[in-house]
Structure formats: C-alpha cells, structure tokens
Structure 1
Amino acid sequence: MMDITTQSLSHAKLPGCSTSVAAFHSKASLLAHNSITFQSPKNFFAQLQGVRIKAKKERGPGAVYSSGAERTLTEVAERWLLVPVGDGDSSHIGFKVKMPDAFEIASSEVTVGRLPDKADMVIPVATVSALHARIQNKGGNLVVTDLDSTNGTFIDKKRLPPGASVSVPPGSRITFGDTHLAMFLVSKLATVEAAIKPEESQDKAEIDGPPESNETTS
C-alpha cells in the first residue's frame, strides 16, 4: 500500500519550463516523498484517503462505502466480496470494454450503477443502468434490490422484479444487466471490528447465468 501510493505521488508532474523550476520541483518532490514516508499510518490514510483508495484498487478489491463515507460503521460486523466472473465478451456493446474490478461491500448500504454521480459501486458498462440496484448488509445477510433497471438484476438465473428484494447467500452469482461484463460471484468475508471509520479499517478477507442482454441503457 505504502509503496504504491508513494510512487503515485512522486511521479506527479506540475507545469514548468525552466531548468531552475524543474530542479526546485525535483527537490520538493524528494522532500514530499520523505515526509510521507515517515508519517504515521493513521495520519497518512486520513490525509490521503482518495489516493489510498486508488492504490488499493490496483492491488486488489476496493472497499465500497455509501456516499456518507465518513460515518462510523458501527452496524457492519461482516463484509462481502463481489468478484467478476463474466467471460469479458463485449461484442454486443460494439467496442472493447474492460472487465470491472472486484468490490468489497464495506457499508450497510450501497447503490450499484453505471454513473459515478448516481452510484457507490460503479460498473462502467453500457448495459448497466445509471442507477441499477441497491445492496444492503442486514444482520449478516446480503440483500439485493433491483431499482427498475433496464436489463434487470439476476440472482443466479432468476430475474428480480423491479423493486423486489432478496437475500443472497455466499456462492450465488449476481448479474447487473450483463452476463458477460457485470456478473459477480458472492463471497462472505471474515468478521471485522465494528465502530471503526472507513479510512482506519483493514482488510481481513477469508474468501470462503441469466439470459444474455444486448440492450444498452441511456
């Protein structure tokens, strides 16, 4: 974590055209690097939360929190992992589409969709609706609700009626509108300490098809 974040910061470039400015920037970058290296982990994560999340995604599944990310997660005692298991075929889209990352559900409720301004768990695939579904962590159960999506939300091969909620057990597959690019295997993670803030949490993971849809959404 520390190595990736530091590398990202040390390669940040600022506009400059003179040799003296470049030299000054080089020294400043070195000082910033040293400063970050010797900060306590708590301060480091608190000040650079955005960079932390980016670096974490490069190494493994990123934790997904609701939009109120600063709240204390007192009600969340268990976490869930959604791992993409589609075949990655994007021929029905018409252009190459990258497979989504794995997602760790680290909040009591998150929304799923295509657009970052509408959803917490973002799947940038055209067949996924802008606001597609809601995932809730309720009493140790993962509950999924379809939010009237265009191409549907499937639990294994069963499509949820719009607005319907269902508890999803580990080992199930959730598909958000696209069996090729947005199908995820559900796993339950180890219990984590309650009453901690998102930036202070640590990963303690023990990782215990519906019809194809070619309709893109607007």
Structure 2
Amino acid sequence: MEMTTHSLSYAKTNSFSPGFFPAKSSVAAQFSVNFLGYNCLPRKLKCSGRQLRNFGAIRASDSGSSSADGSVRWLLEPIGDGDTRHIGYKIAMPSPFEIASNVVTVGRVPEKADIVISVPTVSALHARIQKTDENLLITDLDSTNGTFIDEKRLQPGVVSAASPGNLVTFGDTNLAIFRVYKLKQEEVASELEESGAKSEDVPSKNLESMS
C-alpha cells in the first residue's frame, strides 16, 4: 500500500480558532458512533525513506518518565476507509505521524492536544500516549466515542499497552484508526552503510509492522 500524507495531524499550533471545531457536547449529541470490526485492513506500511521523513514528528514536554532512549521510532499510520457518511460532510484523512516525545496528548482542538486530529468524532482532548522502547502506553481521557486498541475499548484513565502491529482508534474507525509501527534506528543506519544509499532510498521493508 502506498502511503500519502496530508496536513490533518500535526503538532499543536495557534493557527486555528477554538470556535472552528464543534464543542464536545455537540460531538456527543451528533457524532456518537458504533465501533466496527477490522476485516480487510492493510497490514504493512510501504514507503521509502524520503516519504518517512514526511511523517509529522510530534514533540511535546518530556517531563513524563519513560524508558525510551531514542533507539526506536514509533509511527502511527492512518488506515481508515475515509467514509464520512456518519458525519454528513467530507473531510480529509489525518496524516501519519511519528511520536518523538516521551508523552503526547491526542485530540481535536489545538489548544488542548499535542497531536491534532481534525475529525468531529474525536474529542477535544481524547487520549494520552507515552512511548517506551517496547510499546506505546495509551490512556483514554474520558473521550466521548472511546479509544480502542484493536477491538478492545479502553477504560478511561487506565493505561493500556499497544504493540507494533496493533490498531489504535481514537473514536472513529473510518477516519481516526491508525496502525502502530516500530522502527529501530540501527536498522536504517545498517541499511545505509551496507548499500551506500541515501536516506530517501531506504527500502520500505524496514517499515513493516512487527507482530
């Protein structure tokens, strides 16, 4: 599957007015969705090193504790089908992003979240992600439509681990479902050293999800 990037998922900025997005109460009233299954979803990320550099690297406060030492990179790739009929109007799919800080928050409103997913069914402040060397620790922050790892809905406030290959959904299986990828830095360095290639020529095989 060829991955393309857009501008919907990005680090927090001040370029959007809070009034641009619907309030959480309206989301609860208009955009409560049922969780669907995961049949026939893609299982591998296919992109070159050049495309990898286009992942949005999300950096926030590193005050939280974590064992991640920078030797691994965590990537989330959107794999939804883009169906917007449950919303009533068309919106673009979120971009893939890299989690570069130890702890980040995910939500719909730039003033509240580090990673912004501009989808109405995503809560203003939806979830928290902490990275380690082994997995991503995800906490639902009492979101309206829930946070899921594969088909399991997370209990608000309770930390759950997502491993490479898992699917993480932020309230919407059509527009805000992501596959988790773990990429070791030494894999890229070794590939470059052996081939003498530039970073943009790193084969996509290094980006396959590890399950």
What number of residue pairs does the alignment pair up?
Answer: 141
Question: Is the 8 Å Cα contact of residues 170 and 187 (structure 1) preserved in structure 2?
Answer: yes
Q: 1:82 aligns with which of 76, 79, 102?
A: 76
Using the alignment, how far apart are the partners of 1:95 and 1:108 within structure 2?
35
Q: 1:65 aligns with which of 59, 76, 85?
A: 59
Partner in structure 2 of residue 133 of structure 1: 127
Partner in structure 1 of residue 103 of structure 2: 109
Question: Is the 8 Å Cα contact of residues 82 and 93 (structure 2) preserved in structure 1?
Answer: yes
Question: Is the 8 Å Cα contact of residues 78 and 179 (structure 2) preserved in structure 1?
Answer: yes
User: Partner amino acid for 1:61?
Assistant: F
Q: Residues 13-52 of structure 1: matches in 2 within 5 Å?
A: none
Using the alignment, how far apart are the partners of 1:76 and 1:149 within structure 2?
30
User: Partner amino acid for 1:170?
Assistant: P
Structure 2: stretches of 5+ with no match in the other structure:
1-49, 187-198
Q: Give 1:169 deviation, angstroms.
A: 0.9
Partner in structure 1 of residue 177 of structure 2: 183
* Superposed CA offset, 1:168-198 (max 9, x none): 1111100000000000011101237xxxxxx
Question: Is the 8 Å Cα contact of residues 135 and 164 (structure 2) preserved in structure 1?
Answer: no
Partner in structure 2 of residue 28 of structure 1: none
Using the alignment, how far apart are the partners of 1:59 and 1:68 within structure 2?
22
Partner in structure 2 of residue 122 of structure 1: 116
Structure 1: stretches of 5+ with no match in the other structure:
1-55, 193-201, 209-218
TM-score, with length taken from structure 1? 0.58
Q: Give 1:142 deviation, angstroms.
A: 1.1
Confirm or deny that 1:93 pairs with 2:116.
no
Q: Identity over aligned residues, as a percent?
A: 56
Using the alignment, how far apart are the partners of 2:53 and 2:129 within structure 1?
24
User: Partner amino acid for 2:116?
Assistant: V
Structure with bigger helix share is: 1
User: Partner amino acid for 2:98?
Assistant: E
Confirm or deny that 1:143 pairs with 2:145.
no
Q: Give 1:85 deviation, angstroms.
A: 0.5
Question: Is the 8 Å Cα contact of residues 113 and 129 (structure 1) preserved in structure 2?
Answer: yes
Higher relative contact order (CA 8 A, sep 6+): 2
Partner in structure 1 of residue 161 of structure 2: 167
What value does the CA root-mean-square deviation take over the aligned residues? 2.8
Deviation >6 Å, runs of 4+: 56-59, 202-205
Question: Is the 8 Å Cα contact of residues 67 and 120 (structure 1) preserved in structure 2?
Answer: no
Greater C-alpha Rg: 1
